[in-house]
Amino acid sequence: MVPALGGLALYACAACWLLNLRLRRQYRGENLGEAPARASAAKASQTSDMALHVSGPIAAIFVKEAHYVRRAYQLIYGLVAPLILVVAFSAQHNRAGAPVLPAKFVVPMGVFYAFLGLTRMLYNSLGTDGPGVSFYFTSPVPLRTVMLAKNLFHLSLLVLELIAVWGVAALRLGPPDGQMLALTLCAVVFAVPIEFTAANIISIQSPYALNFSKLGRPQGAAANSLLSLLIQVAVGAAGAGIFFLAFHLGNPWLAAPVFLGLGLIGTVVYWRVLGNVELMARRRIEPLLQDLARTVK
């Protein structure tokens, strides 16, 4: 009798110890769905995060956004479409025998379409979270950090997209013109802060939930798409105007300081808007949650 009670007591103590260990790890952020076989992958991920020198919340949002992109074929199509258009633009001649597009303008046009390919993610950055966006308002992580992490993720996608665009153009037409490549980079410096600033505002003011399993356009998508398209066309037109004005004056390099100066102003505005996203979101928290709780019919 005594040995049986002693064994039962030892079993209870061991079970309590294991439960305590499990709960401590759970409340420190361990995912209960993680299997032991994934320990090496988790360790590699942590090493990668350390190599990037990013904070925990930013790294976590990077991983979350990467999973969203991998699941959403609509978003993947948006990333692939600009490369197809670069192939079309780089065709040497059309049926009439005239160049489809002058070779030196293929890369700038490809960059413009690369921005268009990010529209659904960039201008609806909260849409992939859906109703789960409510957790951002109860989390100790500021919404400013969340939006910054999303912007950094979108920027990394844009960089990869630009590299792919330049690679495809180089394969089709040979190495791009050095002057045009440098001016295009300056134009990107001009466009990125303006696009990201407008995207953060629209993502809060006119979001819609993105359903990964359907192609339908949920309520609110039309207004968001129209605003984002108008802004991107305006930014693209401004960039093209600066390009052609500099070429008309006979010195294309005049466009570089203009782009960089406007990019600096845009960066200052971006940081000011980013610092106010928490206040902007909390002022319309109820409509924001209602918009993101809707599903595609």
User: DSSP string of the chain?
Assistant: -HHHHHHHHHHHHHHHHHHHHHHHHHHTT--TT--GGGHHHHHHHHHHHHHHT--HHHHHHHHHHHHHHHH-HHHHHHHHHHHHHHHHHT-S--TTSS-SS-GGGHHHHHHHHHHHHTHHHHTTTTTTTGGGGGGGGTSSS-HHHHHHHHHHHHHHHHHHHHHHHHHHHHHHHSSPPHHHHHHHHHHHHHHHHHHHHHHHHHHHHS--PPPTT-----TTHHHHHHHHHHHHHHHHHHHHHHHHHHHHTT-GGGHHHHHHHHHHHHHHHHHHHHHTHHHHHHHTHHHHHHHHH----
Q: What is the pLDDT of residues 262-272, one digit of tens each?
A: 999 999 999 99
pLDDT of residue 270: 93
Q: Give the pTM.
A: 0.71
- Compute the residue count for the chain: 297
Gap between the Cα atoms of 291 and 218, Å rounded: 10
Measured in whole angstroms, the distance separating CA 90 from the mean position of its chain's CA atoms is 27
Give me the residues of the chain with pLDDT under 70, please.
1-8, 11, 22-23, 25-55, 74, 90-103, 211-221, 294-297
